Every structure is written in C-alpha cells, then in structure tokens.
C-alpha cells in the first residue's frame, strides 16, 4: 500500500473499516471501481463471492497451525490455542458467535471448510484483523434477529453427535451463558425449576419455545396466556413461579 497516494490509502482504510474486508480485497475492489468509494461498496455487497479473493493460502497456514496432528480438523487443543492467539477465554460466549459464523456442526470442532469459510465470511485473513473484529462479533448478540439465530444454532452445535436432544447439564450451561447476555431475570429460577422437577435431556421444541417465552412474556407474567400453546414444561414453570411466590398470581 506504500505506492498509493494519500487519498487512495484513506479510501482503502475507510473501505476496510466499513466492510471488514482485508486490505487485499479492499485494493482489488477499489481498483475495479476506478477508486470510487461508493462504487466499490456496490461491487462488494452485490458480489459476496468477492470475499473469496482473500489469500486462502495464508488461511490454510493458519488452519495447519491449529489442526490436530492425528485428524484433519481442529479439535479442543487447537481451539484453545486459537483462543490464546485471539486473547479470548475459551468459555467466552464470543466463541459461540464465532462458531456460528463458521457454521460449525459440533462444539469444540472445526473442519477445514468451516474454519476457512468462517474467516472469509468475517472478512479477516490474519490474527490481528480477527482480534480487531472481536468487539463487532460480540455486539451481534445485541441484535435480536442475530441473537435468535445464534440461540437456535447453539442447540445443534452443543448436542452430542447422533442425539436428538440436548444433554441436561449442557442445556443448563448454555442457557446461563446465553441469557446472561439477554439479561432474562428468571433464568436462575428456570434452571432451579428444571433441576428440581425435570432433570432430563432437553428437546429441540422446548429449547426453541423457551426463547419465544422470553421474547414475548414479561418477567411478571402479566401477559402470560394459560390457554396458549406452550410446552407443558413452560406451563409447569409458570405454576412453579406462582407456587413459590416468585411472581404474584394474577
């Protein structure tokens, strides 16, 4: 970029800041649009495949850094190393959002396709750029539609291979992680209720319906419809809240 004029360098920086694209993609897109910034945005957003211009060779080198020595995928040790490089705690919810971007099928695993595709979708091709994107990735949890997509994704991602339901302890941990972000005031009561009354694997329907309950029913249950089509477990939870005086009946 040293051969560029100051105005061109500024446009490259603006393009990268707004799109999250790599310097290489920014240069290629701006050159293709004759250095018109608005035209470059049009090209970038109307041609998603432009992200494939990133240096996949460098991404493959990164993949090989984290790949398990005995399997052609990244496993727990590699993910721990990736977290160290990104300066992120492995238990940080941002790793769930990163896994969502990578379309990872299983917790603590990234295939080569998932890993490289995820970096490309995020518009990063170096660890430094990835670290810079972490605040944006974390902010996606504040977007209601994205939160819903991440929440639904988490069920399949966290369940054991070959199982239809989510292990009870895993579900509790995932709910506590997700609803700490959502700041649902009844999350601790929900977990206590399940541990006292249910203590079984969680179905996909219960997982999905709880989010709808959180989104549509206020914590004081003033708009709760007892005749609504809630799963029996949620109806039992509401009764549990009334019985224990956590929420006043009626």
State what percent of residues in the chain have pLDDT above 70: 94
Distance of CA 77 to CAs 20, 62, 86, 218, Å? 28, 14, 14, 42
User: Which tokens hold the place of 136?
Assistant: 């944006």
User: Which tokens hold the place of 184?
Assistant: 């649902």
Mean pLDDT taken over the chain: 90
User: Which tokens hold the place of 65?
Assistant: 């850094």
Residue 207 predicted with pLDDT over 70: yes
Which 8-state DSSP code applies to residue 49?
Answer: G
DSSP strand E in 17-160: where? 73-74, 110-111
- Cβ atoms of 173 and 180 within 8 Å: the answer is no
If 0-12 CB within 10 Å is exposed, 13-18 middle and 19+ buried, where does residue 6 land?
Answer: exposed
Per the model's pLDDT, the better-predicted residue between 103 and 227 turns out to be: 103
Distance CA 124, CA 51 (A): 9
| 58 — pLDDT class (breaks 50, 70, 90) | confident
Residue 213's contacts (CB-CB under 8 Å, 6 or more residues apart) are 230, 234
159: three-class secondary structure by DSSP:
coil
Residue 186 predicted with pLDDT over 60: yes
- Cβ atoms of 191 and 157 within 8 Å: the answer is no
Residue 19 predicted with pLDDT over 80: no
Q: Which pLDDT does position 53 carry in this prediction?
A: 53
Q: Which pLDDT does position 15 carry in this prediction?
A: 84
111: three-class secondary structure by DSSP:
strand
């Amino acid at each position: 970029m040293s051969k560029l004029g100051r105005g061109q360098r500024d446009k490259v920086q603006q393009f990268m800041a707004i799109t999250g694209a790599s310097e290489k993609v920014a240069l290629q897109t701006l050159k293709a649009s004759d250095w018109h910034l608005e035209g470059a945005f049009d090209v970038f957003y109307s041609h998603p495949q432009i992200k494939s211009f990133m240096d996949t060779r460098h991404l493959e080198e990164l993949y090989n850094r984290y790949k398990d020595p005995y399997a052609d995928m990244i496993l727990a040790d590699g993910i721990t190393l990736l977290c160290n490089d990104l300066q992120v705690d492995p238990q940080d919810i941002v790793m769930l959002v990163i896994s969502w971007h990578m379309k990872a099928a299983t917790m603590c695993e990234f295939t080569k396709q998932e890993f490289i595709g995820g970096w490309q979708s995020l518009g990063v091709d170096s660890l430094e750029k990835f670290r810079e994107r972490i605040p944006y990735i974390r902010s996606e949890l504040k977007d209601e539609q994205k939160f819903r997509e991440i929440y639904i994704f988490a069920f399949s991602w966290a369940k054991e291979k070959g199982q239809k339901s989510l292990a009870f302890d895993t579900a509790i941990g995932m709910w506590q992680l997700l609803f700490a972000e959502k700041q649902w005031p009844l999350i601790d009561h929900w977990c206590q209720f399940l541990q006292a009354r249910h203590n079984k694997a969680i179905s996909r329907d219960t997982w999905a319906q709880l989010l709808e309950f959180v989104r549509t029913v206020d914590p004081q249950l003033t708009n709760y419809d007892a005749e609504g089509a809630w799963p029996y477990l949620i109806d039992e939870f509401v009764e549990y809240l009334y019985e224990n005086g956590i929420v006043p009946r009626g």
